[in-house]
Amino acid sequence: MLPKGWKRLSLATVAEVRTGVAKGKQNLKNPVELPYLRVANVQDGYIDTSTIKTIQIERDQIERYSLKAGDVLMTEGGDFDKLGRGDVWNGEINPCLHQNHVFAVRTDLSILTPHFLAALSASRYGKAYFLGCAKRSTNLASINSTQLKEFPVLLPPVVEQQKITKILSTWDQAISTTEKLLANSQQQKNALIQQLLSGKKRIPGFNDPWAKYKFSDLLYEIKNDVVNNPKDYELLSVKLHCKGVVRTGKYPAVTEGSRPYFIRHEGELIIGRQNLHNGGIGIVPKEVGGCIASNAISSFDVHENVSKSFMLHIMSRPLFFTQIDNLIGGTGQKEISVNELLKLKINIPSFEEQQRIARILTTSDHEIATLQQKLTCLKQEKKALMQQLLTGKRRVKVDAS
């Protein structure tokens, strides 16, 4: 049931759905070359104009395929998450055409605002419609112009549409600001890694030269007993790209001849030997201690006067991953042995400087994690708000005038 004052009409009754120009046409008459937008330019919630390509078109077809500011650009398909995605074109390039895999929807502004349509199509309501009518293949889906024209648009009064999109834009601004802060923090962390872990930038008060050590002088493998009943223990996972060690909620399916399993304890430095070159490394947190892993995941502790946190940071550098990749090489399964790892050499500072460096980098990690969590919360809040506002489950106050 629709809220009072709302309508539900097909998109074709409140907008013109325009198809785009096809590539590869031959023997064009009086052709001109103009910029055009492809599927890659139409992202979820924004138009990416960083890379614009050109296409040849007959001069008398320019008006037919040209975009106008206010057109809602939507993709024909691709991956499931790309289906129907889009945003409002603001006329950044003029003239500009659009590819036949990108629809341009020109709304009747007296009934439907472009930003409301863009928000509705990106909402759970819109995605459910597009996925429901799409032609599907493995991991791909597409819609045609007929299906798009039949999209049932929820239509509050225009003033209410404007109020809704204004509220959502506040969330968009908060998300954009947080994304910029996150990107800046990540850049600062990368700069700190390059400077502090190479010795190019020294912490004030530390002047002693760094010394070269074998990993065997810094780390030793922890030898735990083999678990006799692994089916009773939850598996842990070392996430790639240095994303930490987590519980999986899964239990091993043990067969004869399968790898042995070992309990991993809080504070152990563990590496996935098959994925070390992809950042398969982390320290077991308290909540994961007591879970098990196969012997493809090795566990280490540090010798005296070695900071475990420092070792984690220095082994999380892209330079280290390249070193590992070059060492194990080949095109088959890339698994480094414990002996190969312990033969590697690195330069490290004194224990006190290790601790200071690790503290700085850990603080940076916490800042990044806090911003990432904030960004995730903002996006979830926006999705929930969209579901309520765009379907009328939650109404906004509109001035009586």
Indicate whether 95 pLDDT > 70.
yes
Indicate the DSSP class of residue 93: S
Average pLDDT for 41-65: 91
pLDDT band at 140; cut points 50, 70, 90:
confident
Q: Worst-scoring range by mean pLDDT, 249-263, 292-306, 313-327, 369-383?
A: 249-263
Instruction: Indicate whether 74 and 168 sit together in one domain.
Output: no
Task: Answer yes or no: are the C-beta atoms of 371 and 185 closer than 8 Å.
Answer: yes
Give the pLDDT score at 325: 86
Q: What percent of the chain has pLDDT over 90?
A: 74
Amino acid identity, position 274: Q
Indicate the DSSP class of residue 260: P
Q: Worst-scoring range by mean pLDDT, 4-13, 184-193, 244-253, 254-263?
A: 254-263
Residue 118 in any domain: the answer is: yes
Provide the sign of the torsion angle of the four alpha carbons 312, 314, 319, 320, taken in this order.
negative
Residue 400 in any domain: the answer is: no
Give the pLDDT score at 306: 97
Residue 322 in any domain: the answer is: yes
Instruction: Indicate whether 372 and 246 sit together in one domain.
Output: no
pLDDT band at 279; cut points 50, 70, 90:
very high
Instruction: Indicate whether 217 and 243 sit together in one domain.
Output: yes
Residue 2 in any domain: the answer is: no
CA distances from 84 to 61, 123, 133, 258, 386 (A): 26, 10, 11, 46, 16
Instruction: Indicate whether 183 and 278 sit together in one domain.
Output: no
Average pLDDT for 306-332: 87
Task: Answer yes or no: are the C-beta atoms of 168 and 118 closer than 8 Å.
Answer: no
Instruction: Indicate whether 274 and 329 sit together in one domain.
Output: yes
Q: Worst-scoring range by mean pLDDT, 178-187, 219-228, 333-342, 366-375?
A: 333-342
Indicate whether 264 pLDDT > 90.
yes
Distant-in-sequence contacts of 167-170, Cβ < 8 A, 24+ apart: 167/385, 167/389, 167/396, 168/119, 168/382, 168/385, 168/386, 168/389, 169/115
Residue 1 in any domain: the answer is: no
Instruction: Indicate whether 80 and 123 sit together in one domain.
Output: yes
Give the pLDDT score at 400: 60
User: What angle separates helix 124-133 from helix 351-389, to the nearest 10 degrees?
Assistant: 80
Q: Report the largest interatomic distance among the alpha carbons of the chain, rounded to a whole angstrom.
A: 79
Give the residues across from 263 on adjacent strands: 292
For the chain, the C-alpha Rg in angstroms (whole number) is 28
Average pLDDT for 298-310: 96
Q: Worst-scoring range by mean pLDDT, 126-135, 292-301, 345-354?
A: 126-135
The rounded distance, in Å, linking the Cα atoms of 280 and 274 is: 8
The rounded distance, in Å, linking the Cα atoms of 150 and 144 is: 10
CA-based nearest residue to 57, from 40, 41, 36: 36
The rounded distance, in Å, linking the Cα atoms of 92 and 152 is: 30
Instruction: Indicate whether 39 and 94 sit together in one domain.
Output: yes
CATH number assigned to the domain comprising residue 172: 1.10.287.1120
Give the residues across from 298 on adjacent strands: 271
Average pLDDT for 38-58: 91
Domain holding 386, by residue range, is 158-206+349-394
The rounded distance, in Å, linking the Cα atoms of 24 and 84 is: 24
pLDDT band at 395; cut points 50, 70, 90:
confident
Indicate the DSSP class of residue 288: G
Average pLDDT, the chain: 92
Indicate whether 330 pLDDT > 70.
no
Residue 264 in any domain: the answer is: yes
Helix H or strand E encompassing 152:
strand 152-155
Indicate whether 336 pLDDT > 70.
yes
Give the pLDDT score at 333: 61
Indicate whether 68 pLDDT > 60.
yes
pTM of the full predicted structure?
0.82
CATH number assigned to the domain comprising residue 329: 3.90.220.20
Instruction: Indicate whether 228 and 118 sit together in one domain.
Output: no
Provide the sign of the torsion angle of the four alpha carbons 325, 326, 328, 330, taken in this order.
positive
pLDDT band at 23; cut points 50, 70, 90:
confident
Residue 401 in any domain: the answer is: no
337: CB partners within 8 A, 6+ apart: 273
Indicate whether 82 pLDDT > 90.
no
Indicate the DSSP class of residue 21: B
Instruction: Indicate whether 231 and 218 sit together in one domain.
Output: yes
Place of tokens 């290790």: 354
Average pLDDT for 148-177: 95
Residue 257, Ramachandran bin (φ over 0: left; ψ between -120 and 50: alpha; else beta): left
Instruction: Indicate whether 222 and 198 sit together in one domain.
Output: no
pLDDT band at 137; cut points 50, 70, 90:
confident
pLDDT band at 334; cut points 50, 70, 90:
confident
User: What angle separates helix 114-122 from helix 158-196, to the nearest 10 degrees?
Assistant: 60
Indicate whether 332 pLDDT > 60.
no
CA-based nearest residue to 71, from 53, 39, 48, 97: 97
CB atoms within 10 A of CB 83: 22
CA-based nearest residue to 32, from 52, 6, 59, 50: 59
Residue 37 in any domain: the answer is: yes
Q: Worst-scoring range by mean pLDDT, 11-20, 176-185, 227-236, 320-329?
A: 320-329
Instruction: Indicate whether 123 and 69 sit together in one domain.
Output: yes
The rounded distance, in Å, linking the Cα atoms of 154 and 116 is: 10
Helix H or strand E encompassing 13:
helix 11-14
Instruction: Indicate whether 163 and 220 sit together in one domain.
Output: no
- 72: helix, strand or coil: strand
Domain count, the chain: 3
